Amino acid sequence: MDGPAQDLPPLYVDREYRAQDLPLLLVDGEARGWHPRAARKRFRAGLTGPTAGVAAGHTQVNLIAVPADWAYDMLLFCQRNPKPCPVLDVTDAGSWTTVLADGADLRTDLPRYRVWRDGELADEPTDVRAYWRDDLVSFLIGCSFTFEWALTRAGVPVRHLEQGRNVPMYVTDRQCRPAGRLHGPMVVSMRPVPPEHLAAAIHESSLLPAVHGSPVHCGDPSALGIADLARPDFGDPVTAAPDDIPVFWACGVTPQAAVMASRPPFAITHAPGQMFLTDARDEKYRVI
């Protein structure tokens, strides 16, 4: 791929798909109907995998935790780039709880995490209690998995759900607006949409701006600097129908791209596609 990915450190591209990290809808056919609390209990016990379609109708969020002396830069980065980084909660330093999920533990209740040191991937554990620090401030950022339920209700096919795969995500050549020491490219997720469903996909997602809202681009991927849809930087490739239009939404993996580009000394994030499930219903963030 041309563009900013060339300048980022090794381990940036995430094309190694673990055999144990199957989409959770394949692991348990009831995962769509789980209550988020039940899903988090399973994750705490070691269940891993992409969370697309899990606990349908509930809000999913991205996680990034940074040292307190980087927290203002991260908050400003999110404020200046609200499309990829819509913040739903920010914790106090050292706290592992959130108002979005009563009784949840941000250190244990995601399927898989990523631990970063100086902008490089150091570990991908299922529990980060051993890495947690008293100065970490966590940002919970809306995820587009949330509006997939609305797309499905509107009759829009969601190909990665149909195919039992993680959503494909790509680094673009669009640079985010920098903030303090943080800078980096925008990341997008892609869903192939049949032409007759394009208007519905745009409309339904636009009603949920807190989870990225409407697409940032429809059509030719080269307009975003994406050379090959079959080679996503994160997640899995999906098979599109012949007439499908690639539709791109801003993605909450963008802060991870900023970590890799800006190289803070330490950070903890979710693994791409393996989100934190909140107790909030998607209707809470739906605008009319």
Average pLDDT over residues 238-246: 97
CATH class of 146-250: alpha beta
Closest CA to 128 of 267, 275, 279, 278: 267
Confidence band, pLDDT 50/70/90 cuts, at residue 10: very low
Angle at 122 between CA 119 and CA 125, to 5 degrees: 130
pLDDT value at residue 288: 76
Residues in the chain, total: 288
The pLDDT assigned to 26 comes to 56
Average pLDDT in the chain:
91
DSSP letter, residue 249: E
Please indicate whether the domains covering 14-145+261-285 and 146-250 agree at the CATH topology level.
no
Is a pLDDT exceeding 60 seen at residue 130? yes
Q: What is the pLDDT of residue 33?
A: 86
Q: What CATH number labels 14-145+261-285?
A: 3.40.1640.10
pTM recorded for the entire structure: 0.90
Domains in the chain: boundaries: 14-145+261-285, 146-250
Interatomic CA distance for residues 245 and 167, integer angstroms: 15
Q: How much is the pLDDT for 20?
A: 53
